Amino acid sequence: MSILHNFLSARTNKEMASAKDDLESKFGFFYDADAALKVNSSSEWDHDTQLLCIERYLESRRQYIQGIEDFSKSVGLSGLLEGLEEDKSFDYHITLMWLTENIGGNTKPIVEKFIQLALDDDIEVRGIGSACLRNCQHLNSTHLPAILQILDKHGSWQHPLKIGRALTSILRRFPGSYSLLSNIDHSSSDNLKQGIIASLNQEEWLPNELAEVVLILCTDPNSDVSSNALISASHKPDLKPQIVDLIYEGLHSTEWWVRGNCATACGNITPDPGRFIPALVKLTNDFEGHDWNPAECAIPSLAKYGPRAASALPAIQKALAEWGNDDEDDYFAQACRDAISSITPR
């Protein structure tokens, strides 16, 4: 334990280097190709040590941010960038971040600490807390109000695979928890609505108990919420009659994210080809947006129609020629090729 405490209490670069060497020989630390620190034996540490890691991380994180702020005031932006390049404590910062993200959460104090981190105003601190909750195997229905509080405060878009997984894990294992979400409606905060929808969508899962809530959100005033809710509703085929007109309307929206989300929802239910395929074809040349665009959503959806979408082949081939490349990692080009293969009659 003294080796670990030497590491956690290290203040100078020399102390950190010495403590790190000791830890490498004791616990098998090593650097991978991305220079991220891995730990082979963190499960051997008791809960007091785990809590100490968390507290030490918070302290170092806040000192780190304060140091950057103070330094930037004295040297300006260019000096700050040079200083960050020369910052020798960065490995230490990454080490504690990794430890906090990967330790287990099998006691009440640990889970409560994770919740506290996930509610923090510092985006990196709450990212660590969210990741810990995602990995925690001991969440139960009593933690759901806290998970909803986190979503209500920060939403889900920043760490959707983290808090979202914690939410769906509780819902899957404790179906009685659905009642806590039954009062979600247009008056709920956008953060909470977005968080719930994003959590369901990442697993392409919609339990019967939440179908009515999602249908309400399909007409939400916030187009981000409503269009993502349509994707969620499209995962349940028996909701098709209630959402098909909303999807068609969304394909013609002035907002690119609505067009894209509705194109995705359309592919999940493949409604009337005569009505929807022409609308999807128009989107094959729609590259408005960032990170993703309507064309990237429309082409895979056309593929799901198979040979019924034969009229879309010229548009898909044109999009591939103009925007695709031969790189195997080019998602758009591969989506075009897959669509052409699926649609071409055999």
Residue 162 CA to residue 215 CA, distance in Å, equals 25
Helix (H, G, I), strand (E, B) or coil at 293: coil
As a whole-number percent, the residues of the chain with pLDDT over 90 amount to 44
- In this structure, are residues 297 and 260 in contact, taking their beta carbons and an 8 Å threshold? yes
Tokens matching residue 268: 């999940």
- In this structure, are residues 178 and 171 in contact, taking their beta carbons and an 8 Å threshold? yes
- In this structure, are residues 240 and 266 in contact, taking their beta carbons and an 8 Å threshold? no
Helix (H, G, I), strand (E, B) or coil at 275: helix
- Between 161 and 241, residue with greater pLDDT: 241
Query: Tell me: the pLDDT tens digits for 121-131?
Result: 877 677 767 77
Residue 346 CA to residue 343 CA, distance in Å, equals 9
Q: Say if residue 270's pLDDT is above 70.
A: yes
Which amino acid type is present at position 206?
L
- In this structure, are residues 338 and 303 in contact, taking their beta carbons and an 8 Å threshold? yes
Residue 154 CA to residue 192 CA, distance in Å, equals 8
**Residue showing tokens 């109000």:** 145
Give Cβ neighbours of residue 228 (< 8 Å, ≥ 6 apart).
194, 197, 198, 201, 261
Query: Tell me: the pLDDT tens digits for 3-29?
Result: 555 555 555 556 656 665 665 555 443
* Confidence label for 90 from pLDDT (cuts 50, 70 and 90): very low
**pLDDT on residue 106:** 47
Which amino acid type is present at position 47?
H
Residue 159 CA to residue 131 CA, distance in Å, equals 8
| Section 147-173 average pLDDT | 79
Categorise residue 298: left if φ over 0, alpha if ψ from -120 to 50, beta otherwise. alpha
| Section 262-271 average pLDDT | 96
Residue 148 CA to residue 168 CA, distance in Å, equals 11
Q: Is 33 exposed, middle or buried (0-12, 13-18, 19+ CB in 10 A)?
A: exposed
Residue 123 CA to residue 158 CA, distance in Å, equals 8
Instruction: Look at residues 215, 208, 239, 245 and name the one whose alpha carbon lies nearest to residue 229.
Output: 215
Helix segments in 202-312, DSSP class H: 211-217, 223-233, 240-251, 256-269, 273-283, 294-305
